[in-house]
A and B are shown apart, each in its own frame.
Chain A
Amino acid sequence: MGYVAVKGGIEAIENACRLFAWERSKGASEPLAVEQIREQLYLAVDRVMGEGSLYAPDLAALALKQAAGDSFEASFMLRAYRATQPRIGYSLPGNTREMRIKRRISSAFKDIPGGQMLGATSDYTLRLLDFDLLKDDTARREAFRETVFNALPINAEIPDTLPKVIDILRHEGLLENAVDLASNDEPFDITRQSVIFPAPRSAALQSLARGETGGLLTLAYSSMRGYGNIHPTLGELRVGYVPLQISHPVTGEPYTVGEVKVTEAEVLARFDGSDGMPRFSLGYGLCFGQNELKAISMAVLDRTTRAEKPSCPAEDQEYVLYHTDGIEAMGFSNHWKLPHYVDFLSDLDRLRKAQSIAQQEECHADA
């Protein structure tokens, strides 16, 4: 056997990359348009925007196409793209009370001012495969649209704003007061500064907001299931569009630059205040797009990580924030595929030495 120089590396890598592109192109079907992904796989797009922490539906759809549907890879591309963009400024604090609502429910009360709005949800669908979808085509879609719209009352009105459940509870003294954040303070920016623990809440919420859905879910679930004692009530869950404002560079006046689709979750859990008065405390979750599982998990973890003395992983802020970033976890877990033969040789050297010491001791014992 000759010299193992791995000098064929360059060509092999290039071919592997091309082969990957080939795999998704080789089939007989029509190429998938980015527009189709954005419209028809919108929940995947939403998830990628959230974990990639960039609100860009077209780019997220492109990333999904390029990654052959792998949400980790797609989010990763979006984040890497984000790193190349200059930071022009920070938006003004958004107000979700002004949300253009698509969906809004509360499980704390049977009815709430403004009403429960189920909106578009898969919650109540039967999880039966719909074989009719195999024959999906434009004509069928048009027929479906007609049945939907014909059944709707023409002049149904949706109010511009809806009161929040937590505002009502807070007004009655049942919920802890909101933390008073000076609105002109620049937020902690986790993409510019490394988080040091204990992390300020703004840093913690940012980290959670771009956390990986499955990771957040696992930890939040562990707390609700028994490793921890947070038994949350979903005060309110909202999905909709929030206006985004920046301060006008010349006049300083607030200026609306657009709107983003977000999911917001507010969970309530009991907590004894420092003044001895028991109240509810709030766990808050907010993420890009429609991703209810993530927003709820985030809200639960926001609440659990405020424990003074962590008694389980979900209550330990450092544990939660360090281990829920999907991009970081994915990269590191994949890196074990890289060559490690130098380290391994060093390991072998120590192991052989330890074995020889052990053998000597055995001989000693025998003698």
Chain B
Amino acid sequence: MEPLIRIRGLSKRFGNGCNRCLSATGPEFETNMCPHCGSVVACNDVSFDLFKNEALGIVGESGSGKSTLVRLLHFEWDATDGSMEIQRNAGLDTMPELFADGDLYSRNLLGLSPFQKRQVRNALMGIVYQNPFLGLRMNVSSGGNIAERLLGAGWRNIGKMRKRAAELLEKTEIPLDRMDEPPKNFSGGMQQRVQIAKALSNNPLILYLDEVTTGLDLSVQARVLDLIRTLQSEYKLSLLVVSHDLGVINLLCQRTMVMKYGRVVEAGLTDQILQDPQHKYTQLLVASQL
């Protein structure tokens, strides 16, 4: 089976950089900041595939570069280097310019114009952040939050948008009589569920989950994770799950990458990584959490 997206050599550096940045940062140096020029190598030379309807976990502590990865793949930040190619699919039929004749994979999406990136994002991607303030407009109604993405995708019928918003809020277990209320009135768990509804509004192929349960009560966490699992199988989503919590990764993901100081130190099947960690950092991580 061919992967849905192929990521190769993805790197992000903050600062001007120097020719010693790469040789002086990473897990063996216990830092991602170059001691020579002060630049931060947030992630370096990350390559992986994401398959259709697969959940891939990225685990690591803060500063490991896992959230940077999501920001790059969601086109929020510009990568310093690397490529992202996507398999031809119906969602991109309106953008034939992305594919050379007959090619199965697109050209490098990271090199597109901001306008094209926005189109690709609207057509294919959804994201749920740890902080609902990043994903939601807190003063706009919950229905409006969902409508915003539909409007971005060209919907121009209020009735149809409200119908779609109601469906999604129902799926994410938000009472419909609160549809015209802004999320600022909601609890943390409810806000997270509105964020998920918003992320799903455009029928995405890929859903990025960035520490979505961090900061929620345990019982609320379980409910949100359960919801994500149900939605993944119902909508055939490919998930990229970023978390520092191996429990979350274990529950959602078939495959996992372990990151430290901007580098991937280990990758494989989640079960294998949890039962037989190879890298000493992974061993420490597993021992401390399970």
Contact = CB atoms under 8 A, between A and B. Distances in A.
Contacts of B15: 274
B39 to A, nearest CB: 9
B38 interface: yes
A275 B15 CA distance: 11
A226 interface: no
B206 to A, nearest CB: 30
A275 B16 CA distance: 11
A270 to B, nearest CB: 18
A198 interface: no
A274 B15 CA distance: 9
Interface in A262-282: 274-276
B180 to A, nearest CB: 14
Interface string B1-26: 00000000000000100000000000
Nearest to B15: A274
Nearest to A275: B38
Contacts of A275: 38
B134 to A, nearest CB: 15
Contacts of B38: 274-276
Contacts of A274: 15, 38
A17 to B, nearest CB: 48
B177 to A, nearest CB: 16
Nearest to A274: B38
A157 to B, nearest CB: 50
Interface string B85-127: 0000000000000000000000000000000000000000000
A231 B52 CA distance: 56
Nearest to A273: B38
A275 B38 CA distance: 7
A362 to B, nearest CB: 18
Nearest to A276: B38
B244 to A, nearest CB: 25
Interface in A325-342: none
Contacts of A276: 38
Interface in B31-89: 38
A275 B35 CA distance: 10
B176 to A, nearest CB: 19
A275 B39 CA distance: 10
B243 to A, nearest CB: 27
B32 to A, nearest CB: 16
A329 B122 CA distance: 40
A121 B15 CA distance: 47
A275 B33 CA distance: 12
Interface in A252-309: 274-276
Interface string A226-241: 0000000000000000
B23 to A, nearest CB: 20
Nearest to B16: A274
A167 B215 CA distance: 52
A78 to B, nearest CB: 42
A322 B15 CA distance: 30
Nearest to B39: A274
B31 to A, nearest CB: 14
B246 to A, nearest CB: 34
A58 to B, nearest CB: 51
A276 B38 CA distance: 8
B34 to A, nearest CB: 12
A357 to B, nearest CB: 15
A278 to B, nearest CB: 14
B101 to A, nearest CB: 39
B149 to A, nearest CB: 27
A274 B38 CA distance: 7
A101 B196 CA distance: 67
A326 B33 CA distance: 46
A216 B217 CA distance: 49
A274 B39 CA distance: 9
A210 B38 CA distance: 38
A14 B38 CA distance: 68
A274 B18 CA distance: 14
A298 to B, nearest CB: 30
A194 to B, nearest CB: 22
A272 to B, nearest CB: 11
B58 to A, nearest CB: 27
A76 B38 CA distance: 49
Interface string B216-250: 00000000000000000000000000000000000
Interface in A191-211: none
B106 to A, nearest CB: 33
A276 B37 CA distance: 10
A263 B38 CA distance: 39
A274 B16 CA distance: 10
B266 to A, nearest CB: 33
A171 to B, nearest CB: 25
A363 to B, nearest CB: 21
Nearest to B37: A275
B18 to A, nearest CB: 12
A271 to B, nearest CB: 15
4 contacts: A274-B15, A274-B38, A275-B38, A276-B38
Interface of B: 15, 38
List the 3 closest A-B pairs by CB distance, nearest first: A276-B38, A275-B38, A274-B38
